Structure 1
């Protein structure tokens, strides 16, 4: 795998990005833009997906959102609405790159990034297909599910008070990212983050309370129907204790055909995200079949969720 620096600008901020390519590739190649989750960096899951997908013939773009990693932007501002614009700017950059096929630009979002790619693709017809893994459909619902009554009430009070602070002083209070997203509600994820993700320099740095305010107002499921007629793949850990499978069910219900929801039985949110883990290998096969148009005609094993109808095949 070779790496080509491919920075781009989003709302005036220079975004640090790398295009991962098969050795000797001359293009044009299908390309997957990988959007990280909450607090994610390009060196974590985006590069993991690059290591898995590039040998299958894809180019993969990995980038740090504005304000994170080596990208420019306000530190501590974790705004999914801004991230939607960052993904769109990535598509802008790739559409002008001779190494990739502009008709085969695919999006892949992890966690919060799953909601980001749904929102971006809804209004960007250049995107050929969208996959969201352990994604969210409603920020407020997702975050509420991580909190007990006491911590939820405290978070809302802090966010409400910070609105006045921002209006008066122009600055938002910086807090721990885990005051907003409660990792301790999911033991597997909490342990994985401590042992694996903190190896990435800068991971877990403070975020503003405005970030929490913006996350609670982020509702990508409201845009999901506009992805059609392009295909949407939703993959979710059936035992995900961080982002409940309810998020995938709701995204599926809001989307139009062609769509598919695949639950991974026995899987939580992120404890299986290792290059050599069989669950991760299964996910990569699902993604390859989806992007290459090889999805099953009957979609056997699809899980449309409570109260929804079975999915039709992709076209």
Structure 2
């Protein structure tokens, strides 16, 4: 498959972190922008993300970006906390370059960030008490999202916590995945995705999860979905594993079709 061309951009967050981004022009509707948020240790330059951007560009222009501490972006990863500012910069950029409708599509950590960001833009400003904001997404898709923090119930998640919490783990993430992780603990602990989900309405929410996800079992998807108010949908995908690497073109096309209809 020949991947669609993309054009580099540099975004600046509200807290002055420079974010590496790319714009893949639409091969379909020219008024829909799709902001693509990768998972932990991912990057817009990795082939799974580029492949997803290509498929989604059949439904709208795609803004992909590297979260802080990842790839060529500045700063350090806070693993889902301040990353809402990175996503906010990407959504604002999509509107600034002319997209009148914007959907946020996140995978794994990016899905948690997308849910928290949409809750922040809800009518009541979400559980963190930041107050409501303008300019949020018109629809949100959360793929393979964790519902709650500190989950260690699977071996892959125990490995993720080792990478985050241990000096050797942070070194390995920096050297092996170009991911720079901030040391220390959250203070305060940010709202969990399931808490933020209750504040997203009336923005449409789609929760997508695989029954073969090795990181987060299905109860995470159900917890987010049950906490959210209408309009919302839940897709449980048979045989689907985790996040970008397991996503098939067929699933991504269905997500693109959903975004066209629900923005």
TM-score by length of 2: 0.79
Structure 2 runs not aligned, ≥5 long: 122-134
Q: Distance in 1 between matches of 2:146 and 2:170?
A: 17
- Runs of 4+ aligned structure 1 residues displaced above 4 Å come to 213-218
The aligned counterpart of 1:144 is 152
Instruction: Tell whether 2:162 aligns with 1:210.
Output: no
Secondary structure class of the residue paired with 1:50: helix
Equivalent residue, structure 1, for 2:259: 291
Indicate yes or no: 2:77 matched with 1:109. no
Figure out how many residues of one structure are paired with residues of the other and give that number: 241
Aligned partner of 2:90 in structure 1 is 90
| Partner in structure 2 of residue 237 of structure 1 | 210
Matched, 1:21 2:31: no
Distance in structure 2 (CA, Å) of the matches to 1:247 and 1:123: 20
SS in 2 for 1:132: strand
1:215 to partner: Cα distance: 11
8 Å contact 2:70–2:179 — kept in the other structure?
no
Provide the alpha-carbon RMSD of the alignment. 3.2
Kept in 1: contact 2:69–2:179 (CA 8 A):
no
The structure with more radius of gyration: 1
SS at match of 1:144: coil
Which structure is higher in RCO with an 8 Å CA cutoff and minimum separation 6?
2
> Equivalents in 2 of 1:114, 1:17: separation in Å?
18
| Structure-to-structure mapping, 1:152-167, within 5 angstroms | none
Q: 117, 137, 143: which is aligned to 1:133?
A: 143
For residue 119 of structure 1, report the CA deviation from its aligned partner. Answer: 0.5
Distance in 2 (alpha carbons) for counterparts of 1:138 and 1:217: 10
Confirm or deny that 1:51 pairs with 2:54: yes
Tell me what 1:9 maps to. Answer: 12
Q: Normalization by structure 1: what TM-score?
A: 0.67
